[in-house]
Amino acid sequence: MFEAWLGRMGAPVALLGVVGLIAFFAFPYDLGFLTRILIMMIFVLSIDLVLGYGGIATLGQAAMYGTGAYAAGLFAVHISANPLLGLLIGAGAGAGVAFLSGLIVLRAHGLGLLMLTIAVAQILHEIANKARVVTGGADGLSGIRMAPLFGRWHFDFIGQTGYLYALAVLVLVMVFLRALCVAPLGLTARGIHESPVRMAAIGVPVYGRRVLIYTIAGGLAGLAGALSAQVTALVSLQVFSFSLSAEAVVMLILGGTGRLWGAIFGTAIFMVIHHLAATADPYNWLFVIGILLLGVVYFIPGGLMGVRQRLRILFGGQG
């Protein structure tokens, strides 16, 4: 049974690692951009856990991402430059903010819930801006220097260590989420997404489970933020921006909600097209993204991961 589970769970994740390594050798001069893609994949996966699996509408996931970034940055500047400890601090900070805010915002539903998640991110943005002595305010938190990873691999200017570090974290996050989604908690989250009333009727503590899912997702978002702070050695107020959350949701919609691989593919496609379109036309690149999003929403409602199912419907076949 364990071998079957390992084969089912490990092979696709191993493929992700292999593709990541191929990209490492194929694009040695674009590692900074590729590292940003990996970090955004982790962030979008956290939103997929909340929105795609838990059915919790949010446009404020940047609150946990930014908290994790500032927590890891301040930890590195004032306490320890150990990257692994900083990563844990960032994840813990993101989970803490998610838990405390989730106790309040998850009592709302629909548009009210959506507005409250945005409000939490904006409040944290303003706190970071006002606490200039600690966070650097609008100038950002600088002076972040990371110790060598495992005391051996230095964070170089080219970004080789940072890329492999981010890739390893992404693979571990995927392993964790694939296991979580088939665990009782993940199945319960899906049930709550489909029918919270029915789940409550069979004795499931819906509110508590939603808070737990929101907290775990917040920890993953904080992890992504901490990783960004460590790799870029800078944290700005943009980590709390609404546009960061909104773009991440668009990435998830492109790939397909409720599918972990949808978050991976959606993020990669969005960021590559964004990069190419912005390079070709810095002023009108949003037009390309808008056309892509409209096409996916109208013709492939399930996202790019739903192409196969859509083709079955169109052609009436089962193969």
pLDDT score for 145: 87
Q: Compute the distance between CA of residue 137 and CA of residue 308 in angstroms, rounded to an integer.
A: 48
In a domain, 255, yes or no: no
In a domain, 132, yes or no: yes
Cα-Cα-Cα-Cα dihedral of 120, 122, 128, 131, to 10°? -100
Domain assignment of residue 150, yes or no: yes
The CA distance from 36 to 57, in Å, is 25
pLDDT score recorded for residue 1: 43
Condensed to tens digits (0 to 9), the pLDDT of residues 119-133 reads: 999 999 999 999 888
- 260 is a domain residue: no
User: Do 76 and 230 form a contact (C-beta atoms < 8 A)?
Assistant: yes
Over residues 142-191, the pLDDT tens digits come to 888 888 888 788 888 778 889 999 999 999 999 999 999 889 998 999 99
First to last CA, the chain: 29
Torsion of CA 242, 248, 253, 257, to 10 degrees: -110
The segments of the chain whose pLDDT lies below 50 read 1-7, 319
- pLDDT at residue 156, as a whole number: 80
SS3 at position 79? coil
- Buried/exposed code over 254-288 (b: 16+ C-beta within 10 A; e: otherwise): bbbbbbbbbbbbbbbbbbeebeebeeeeeeebeeb
Identify whether 279 is part of a domain. no
| Contact in structure between 239 and 69 (CB atoms under 8 Å) | yes
Tell me if 159 is assigned to some domain.
yes
> What is d(CA 67, CA 58) in angstroms, rounded to the nearest whole number?
16
Q: Distance between CA 104 and CA 102 in Å, rounded? A: 5
Q: Is 66 within a domain?
A: yes
The range of the structural domain enclosing residue 170 comes to 2-241
Q: What is the predicted pLDDT for the residue at 116?
A: 94
Distance of alpha carbon 175 from the chain centroid: 15
Look at the chain and report how many structural domains it folds into. Answer: 1
> From CA 299, how far away is CA 92, in angstroms rounded?
40
Give the number of other Cβ atoms within 10 Å of residue 179's Cβ: 12
Ranges of H-type helices in the chain: 2-26, 31-47, 62-78, 83-105, 110-130, 132-135, 160-182, 184-194, 196-201, 206-232, 242-255, 260-280, 285-299, 307-315
Q: Which residues contact 318 (CB under 8 A, 6 or more apart)?
A: 312
The model carries a pTM of 0.92
Q: Establish if 259 belongs to a structural domain.
A: no
**Residue for token digits 């949003």?**
286
The CA distance from 305 to 275, in Å, is 22
d(CA 209, CA 164): 34
